[in-house]
Structures are given as C-alpha cells and as structure tokens.
A and B are shown apart, each in its own frame.
Chain A
Amino acid sequence: MAVTREAMLEQWERPSVWQRLTIRDALWVLLVVAGAGFAGWFYQAQMDRYEFAILAGTAVALIAWGLYWPPARLFTVAVTGLALLALWRYGSDYELRKSAFLLKYVLESQAAFMWMSVLYVLATVTYFVALFSRSDFVGRTATALTWCATAMGMTGLLVRWRESYLLGADIGHIPVSNLYEVFVLFALITALLYLFYEDRHRTRAMGGFALLAISGAVGFLLWYAFDRDAYHIQPLIPALQSYWMKIHVPANFIGYGAFSLAAMLGVAYLLRAGAEARRPDGVLARVLPPLELLDDVMYKAIALGFAAFTIATILGALWAAEAWGGYWSWDPKETWALIVWLNYAAWLHLRLTKGWRGTPMAWWAVIGLFVTLFAFLGVNMFLSGLHSYGSL
C-alpha cells in the first residue's frame, strides 16, 4: 500500500471533539466562563457553596448547550444583553419600573411577559399560515417570532429575579416560586425544545402544533395575571427557601414541556393519520407533517421528558428529605409525579420493546398530557398536601 497507516488514519478518522472546535466555539466557551466567573466574583458575598456549585453547573450546561446547538449562543447573548440593560437602567430603584420608558414598556418583567405572550400568539398563527400557504418566508418569520418571544420571556424572568432583590434583600429569589412564574418557564422551555427539533429536523411543519400548547399556557398566564392578580412578587415561605428550588423546578419543567410537545405532535399525528385515511389527497394529508417525522420526534420528546422528569423527581425527593422529613411521603404531588413517571415508563416500554408505533402511541401521548396536566395543575387545585405552593 502506498499510504502509511498513520496517513490513512488521518484521512479516515472523524476529527476528535477538540479538533472540531472552531474559533467561534472557543469564543463561546470563553464568554460563558468569563460571564460565570464575573457573576461569581461580583456576588460572592451573597452566595453559599451550593450556589457556587449551581453557578458552575449552569456554566458547564450553558457551554455544552451552545456547543451542541449553536443557535443557543445568539439567544443567550441576546437575553444576557437585554437583562443587563434592564439591570443597568434599574440601578437600585425598583420604582423606576413605573416611570422609565424602557423598563415600563419593554424590559420590566411584567412588560417583557406581555411581549412574550403577544409574540407567541402571533408565532402560532404565523406557523399555521406558513403550513397552509407553504411559504418559506412566512415560516422563517414564524421561527423568528418564536425566538423573539422566547428571548423576551427569558429576559423577563431574569429581570424579575433582580426585581425581587430590589423589592427587599430578604425577598429576593429565583422566579420559579409560584404558578405564575413557572407558567412563563413552561412556555420558554417548550418553545426551546420545539425550536431545537425544528432546527435538527429542518422542518417548520410541527410549529403550529407545538406553539398551540404554548399559546394555551399564555392564555392561562394572562387570565391568572389579570383575573387573579397573581403577578406580584411574593416573598418565599420558609419551605421554599432552599437551593434545591433552583434545580428541581427547571428540571421538572423540561419534563412538562417535553411531554406537552409530544402530546401536541400526537394531535398532529392523529389529524394526519385521520386525514390520510379519509381523504388521502386532501389538504390536511398534504400539508401536515409526515407521520414518520411526528412519530420520531414524539419519541424523542418523551424520552427527553422522561429523563428530565426522572431527574426532577429525584431532586424533589432529595429536597423532601431535607424539608419534609423523608424522601418520600406519598404526598399528592409526589404520588402524581410517580403516576406521570409510570405512565411514560409504560409508553416507552411499549415503544421500545413491543415495537408499538403510530396511532395508539399518539393517543397515549395525548392522554399523557392530561395526566401530566393534573400532576402540574390539578394537584394544586383539587388536592391538599405539602406541595401547595401555587393555588388558583
């Protein structure tokens, strides 16, 4: 052979992770490390060792996220920029939210959430228009709207975090402490999951369905904010004063978001399957996303949701061991988390080992959403227990 083994290896081998790193990747890593380092240095007086660990973990996760999925970088940078702008404008005067134009109409958390809400609803409509008009331009507009909505929502959460400290040093906490705040989180995470699958599968056909779930959440959010006057920042009750909240709640909402996404794809699947059965050449059968794609993404979303939900439930158990006297008390929230977990465990078993596909699994995913919804909302509304942090 003419070539040496080494030369051949070079040609054969997929470059290692290090070799594949570009300048942009390196910049990303540096930026996150610098940002996290600055935050840790700047707020060191307020942080305990758990919070340093969480900060470091966040930085690692952010680096990995940006490397794995480049669009996350621009998003992170944009959100960080907006949030810092708001922080700078606020200074230390919470009352500026009523007078400063930029805060009052754009960056104050309440205003940012309103922008988010409007943009998500617009994006939902636009995705459906794109679906039926088959216009690429409209589709790209929908994606852009979704990104903007997500950025505004995330900015709102970060600004709200700061606002809670402006309200009183002892009141400050991460804004995932009540139903109002976690609904925003839910919308954001579901949108990011969707955007990821849109990017990876190079199709916008699923967008309208995914965004429907988000618009539903937005509708609830608006009702909750205006009818129930629930948007005020409240101090934390003693049971919630724990670093566990920072990781338990977001992990849970990755699960909820992924399950909701799967359910909406299940709806799309059922519509398409029904349309194909009745009128194979009808509009629906042509424009709705292909069944294989829906089936695949549905599985991926449920697998991801299951993994996240498992972690979240375990984190919840560890927290319960610190707050309630044991890792498991058969509290309604715990029990319903178990029910959700068992439900999707059964779903995954059917799919992975019995090889079930298609319509029954889509139905199950849709029903699964109701189980999840009950665990998320119904338990707080109808059942009493230790985990009653968000009531209607």
Chain B
Amino acid sequence: MNDTAVSKPVRQRTLGWVLLEFLGSMNLAITLLVVVAIASVIGTVLQQNQPYPDYVLKFGPFWFEVFRKLGLYDVYGTVWFVAILGFLILSTSVCLYRQVPGMLRDMMHFRTQVQLHSLRAFHLRAEWRLPNRDADAVLADVTSLFRARGYRWRIADQGAGRIAAAMKGRFNRLGYLFTHAAVVIIGIGGLLDGNLWLKLKESTGEIVLETRDLPARDVPDQSRLAPGAVPSFRGNVMLPEGSAANFVFLRLRDGFLLQELPFAIELKDFQVAYYDTGQPKSFTSQVLIHDREQLGDQPLAATIRVNHPLIYRGYAIYQSDFGDGGSKLELRAWPLSSAKLEPVEAKGEVGGVLKVAEPGGELRLELDNFRLFNLLPEPDSQVGDRKFRNFGPSIGFKLRDAGGGAREYLNYMAPVQLEQRWFYISGMRARPGDPYSYLHIPADARSSPERFLRFNARLRDQSWLQDFLTRSAGPSVENPEFQRNLKLVRLNLVDLFMQGGFAAVTERAKSVVPADRLREATELYLNILRDTLAEIYVEILREEGSKVEEGVSPQEEAFFSDAIAALSALPVYGSPFYLQLTSFQQVEASGLQVTHSGGVTVVYTGFALLVMGIFIMFYTSHRRLWAWLAVEDGATRLLLAGAGNRRQTEFAREFAALRAALEQRFGLPVAAVASAEQSRNGGGEQNSTS
C-alpha cells in the first residue's frame, strides 16, 4: 500500500483523498495495533468494575476522581477506548476498500504484459538457447509442463517474441481479504455486544442509572429495560431456593439497571458437590422456566451447571455464583465481658441485622453468611498429606460499633476435636482480608461451652470473688494483715488478667518491680495468679456437682489450661459476647447470569474467516511463471522466470525442479540445483498487501 500512489496519474489531492490515504496507510494500521495493545493493558492492571468505595479507599478522593473522569474503572466501555477500536476497524476497512479491487485483478490477470528486461531482473530465472527446436514445439513443451504442475496460463505476442504467463494458487490473495474482513466483522459484532446501546440510551436520557440499594420491585421505570430494549446484555440475579425472578441486574459503573426477561426463572434447588479432597466438584441449579407465552402453564425444568448453560429463547442462563438465600438462624449470646451468667436467645436470618445494646453503646450484629460444610485441611497434617476434615456449619457475622468500625467473626457451630480435646472455635479479624485469629473455647464434659463461660463470668464478678477468696483463705488468726494483703493481690491479679491477659500481668510487674528482681517477682505473680485461678476453677467444678475432693481428672486439668489460654486471649477477641449457633434452617441461593448476545453470530463468522484467512495467507502462495520465447538466428531462445508472494524457499525448490525437467526434455545437462539453492535464502517475500 505504501507505493501504490507512485504510479497513479497526477491529480488533485482532495481532502477526501488525503483522508483515505491516511486511514489506509500501513503506518497508521501498525500504530493502531500497538496503541490498542497498550491501552488494553490499563484495564488488566486496574481491576475493573469494582464498587466505587473500593477505588476511593485505594486511590484517595483526588485520584479516584481523576481516574473516574478518565473512565479507568471501565476502560473497555469508555468512549475513548471504543473510539480507538472503531478507528482500527475503520482503518482496516479503508485498507480493504483500497486493496480488494487490485487483488481481484491480480487474481484474474495473467500479467502477459511483463517485459523481457523485467523478467531478466527476476531472482528465479533460467535462459536457454535451443538451436534445433521449433518455437511452437518449445511452447507446447512448456505449457504442457505448466499444465502438469497445475498452472493455468495465457499466451500473448510481445514484440518479436511470445510470452506464456502462468499462475497457480491465486486464492492466496483471499487470505488477505478473509483476515482483514474478519477483523472488521469481529469488531462490528463486538461493538454490537458491548454496552454501546446502554450508553446511547443513557445519553438521550431514556434510561437513568439507579445508584440506590433498592429491591427489584421498587426500581423506577427509568432504570428498567424491557425485553429486547437492547440487543445484548449480561446481567446477574441471586435467587434463593424456592424463589423466582423475571429480571436481572446489569451492573454499570456505580449503579445498576434492571433488565426484564420475557420469562421467569424459578430456583427449585441448588447443590454443591465436593471431591474427597474438599475441593468443590460441581455447582448445580435445578430451575423451572415459567413462560406463559411460549410454554403455557407447563414450566420447563432444566439443570444448569458450570460449563453447561441453559439456552432458552436466545437467552443463555449460566451458573455463575452462589450464596446464602437468607438461612434462618437461632442464636445464643453468652456474655463475655460481664458477670452475667444467663445467655440471651435471639433469632435472625442471613443478610439481616440485629441490634445489641451494650454498656459501651449500641452494636449492630450483621449476619453475613452461613455455611453448612467447611471442608478444611486437617489442622495437624503434614505438608503434602492433603487430608481434609469437615468442620461442620459455621456463621460469619460482623460487629459494628456506632463509629462504623467493624470486626468480623466466624463461629463454628459444633465443637472441634484438636489434639484429643474439644473446642468451640471462633475466628476474629479486625480488617477484611486479614487471616482470622482463633479463639479456642474448651468444651466441657457435656460438650458445651457453659463451664468456660461460667468460669469467665465468675472471674468478672467482684462480689463473688471477694466472698470466695475470703472463704478459701480460711479463718486465720496468725497473720490477718498478710491474709488481707494476699487477698488484695489476688483480686488485683485476677482483674489485671481479665483486662489484658498474661501480658498485662507481666507488664504490671515491669512497672512496679526493680529490674534486678523482675524475673523472680513476675514468676511469683504468675504463680499466685495461676493458683488463684485454679482454686476458682475447682470451685466451678464443685458448683457443677463434680466430686473434687476425690481429685481432678486429667481431662479437667487439661480443660483448665485451655481455659486460661482462652481467657488470656479474650481481651483481644473484642466481642462482649460469644455467639453460639444453636439451630438453623438453611436456605441456599444460586447466582445466575443471564446473557443475550445479538452479535454472536457475526463474531463467530468473523472467527471462521480469520482462521481460514490466516492459513491461506501463510501456507499457500500465489505463484507466477513466465516463459518468454523468440526465434533468434535459427534457434529458439527461451526464458523462464518465476515469482511467488509467500513460501519463497518452497517456490525456489519448485522452480529448480521445473527447470531441471525442461533441461532434461531439451537434452541439456541438468545443472540447476546450485542456482536454486543460491536463490533459496535470498528470495525475500514480496507482497503488495497491507
């Protein structure tokens, strides 16, 4: 394309011509290829279509706004990106428009006009002087060879001689046509499937993005799209089991639109199956399609799995997500930060919020999720063991204070056996994305967290402690002063421990004891604390009705050390209560994606053309041969020349074979191989396409 203008007659260069020249230029095409590549990088580096608050957190308000103006949160839908793509399509179209006529001519024409001196300049050529041969006979020989090798030819007179111009593989030119047409077709199809239509409707004010968090029925008409309003969309809907929807949500920037469907999808059942290793094996939704118009009263039952969408009336329904559809939970909140023994019972449902009145202000308890199975790696397994255990049902919830700060919790319903002991496990994290730290509440003989919680409550009950410590010291007459002081120290240590764990005790020691006696003193403090806690623990056991006079069993001893470990961790646990899940009724939800693609046939046609075109282009070659003959001094002079637009090496080999065949026919010594070899690496690919 770069040299086409040269041979054209001089004419007025109109603006249109200049524009066409620019749009069709190879340099622009290559530049556009590179520009699209670079622009595409942006959207892969910056995660696209995330909720806007996430971006604000990441970039701060200033850059958030700059990036929003540039459309970086949905790069591939921005005007500028679509414009570049459009430009690439336009440029390719102009190339096609300008090249195709020439190519078709090239496919049809045999080029009998090529002059002798041009042929002599060809890389692949051979020339013979044949003294005793008639020109007609030679021509017949040559053309029969052409025929034998699959060439077609035309013969023309040219000055003193004649020329037979042959060609083969002209369909190679279609490679160019197919590939470039494919790019245009795929581009157009892709634009059809993009959100161009939504943008158009948005710019005319026909639709308005909804940014509030509304249930579907409250979405106003201006944010609703009737079936068929746009040719293509991709929307999502989360369906709890037993519910149905005849719409999907299209998420766009910081809001959404509601796309209505001409049918309703009802979720009968959703199931997750697991491999033995704990990884999910399949996600399956059993759905019913209700469509009075097409199906009457008989709904269509179908199964949707990952990789197996349901195609109904040109709409494709995919399994794309799953979650909780509002499982009903029964909860018991055991006080952790007060002396109260009695738990509070509550009922809730996943997705709901409970308000909890606490001395420090009201807390919001947000019930985020419920999981029936938790297949996790075996806790004390070796690397490579790949053993998994089902830890049973769990609830995830957040505790949000009045300031908006929240801690996330993950509580398992059933006690878990670890190293031969049983624990109620609760994970806590202060920031989303952090790993959970776990609180291990030892389970008592009745598999309940009750003993631990009673222990905890007693330790926070000042009057009970006073009373107990006085009683346990016994009536001492020898040294009442010492007794009183010891009681005070014990009370203080217990209080310190309950406020800040063992760490608080050692800290306190550091602040009141001189450095040289610190170790000794800390040990003493910890011993007193441990003894005190142990005495209290034994009292708890006695309250439970255990016969402590006969000694404490190893299990109960182990319970004690587990309990004080848990107590020591309580201050960082941060929740004023331990939330126990006592009963549940699971309701699952399946996330379905519904798409309608108006351009898919167009795009797939483009795909087929592209593949065909590439193979034709690379692996066929438009080959031309010329045989020029003239009678000179009673001899026939024959010049054979050839040119191919691809696969030069192969063509050079073919040319050498042709040459050898002719030499054999003419009774000449066959010595062609050297020259063919010589031309093997020199023959550059020539082509006029762009």
Contacts and interface: CB of A to CB of B under 8 A. Distances in A.
Contacts of B614: 306-307, 310
A12 B148 contact: yes
Interface in A304-320: 304, 306-307, 310-311, 314, 317-318
A241 B283 CA distance: 12
Given A327-B600, A336-B44, A235 B281 contact: yes
B546 to A, nearest CB: 47
B611 interface: yes
Contacts of B607: 314, 317-318
Contacts of B48: 330
Contacts of A318: 604, 607
Q: Which of A238, A311, A314 has the most CB of B within 10 A?
A: A238
B522 interface: no
B76 interface: yes
Contact of B685 (A237, A342, A351): A351
Interface in B669-690: 681-682, 684-690
A1 B133 CA distance: 11
A339 B306 CA distance: 28
Given A232-B384, A296-B681, A335-B43, A326 B307 contact: no
Main secondary structure on A side of the interface with B: helix
A229 B383 contact: yes
A171 B278 CA distance: 12
Interface in B184-204: 190, 193
Contact of A339 (B1, B41, B604, B661): B41
B307 A239 contact: yes
A355 B2 CA distance: 11
A102 B522 CA distance: 64
Interface in A373-392: 379, 383-385
Contact of B689 (A296, A325, A351, A352): A352
A46 to B, nearest CB: 17
Is the interface on chain B under 10, 10 to 19, 20 to 34, or 35 or more residues? 35 or more
Nearest to B594: A325
Given A306-B614, A317-B607, A326-B234, A353 B34 contact: no
A12 B657 CA distance: 10
Interface in B487-516: none
B44 A239 contact: no
Contact of A342 (B34, B140, B305, B681): B34
A238 B37 contact: no
Contacts of A170: 275, 281
A27 interface: no
A343 B384 contact: no
A296 B647 CA distance: 10
B276 A168 contact: yes
Given A235-B275, A352-B687, A352-B689, A328 B306 contact: no
A237 B280 contact: yes
A354 interface: yes
B386 interface: yes
B683 to A, nearest CB: 10
A321 interface: yes
Contact of A335 (B44, B281, B318, B686): B44
Interface string B1-32: 11000000000000000000000001001100
Nearest to A201: B649
B532 interface: no
Given A170-B281, A238-B307, A5 B234 contact: no
A350 interface: yes
B450 to A, nearest CB: 41
Given A325-B234, A346-B30, A351-B685, A234 B306 contact: no
Interface of A: 1, 5, 8-9, 12-14, 168, 170-171, 229, 232, 234-235, 237-239, 241-242, 290, 292-293, 296, 299, 303-304, 306-307, 310-311, 314, 317-318, 321-328, 330, 332, 335-336, 338-339, 342-343, 345-346, 349-355, 357, 379, 383-385
Closest 4 A-B residue pairs measured CB to CB?
Answer: A12-B148, A292-B681, A238-B306, A332-B44
11 contacts: A5-B144, A12-B149, A168-B275, A238-B281, A296-B681, A307-B611, A307-B615, A307-B618, A323-B306, A349-B29, A350-B30
Given A238-B281, A311-B611, 19 more contacts: A1-B137, A1-B140, A12-B661, A13-B149, A235-B277, A239-B306, A239-B307, A241-B307, A304-B618, A314-B610, A314-B611, A321-B316, A321-B600, A326-B193, A328-B190, A339-B37, A342-B34, A345-B33, A353-B690
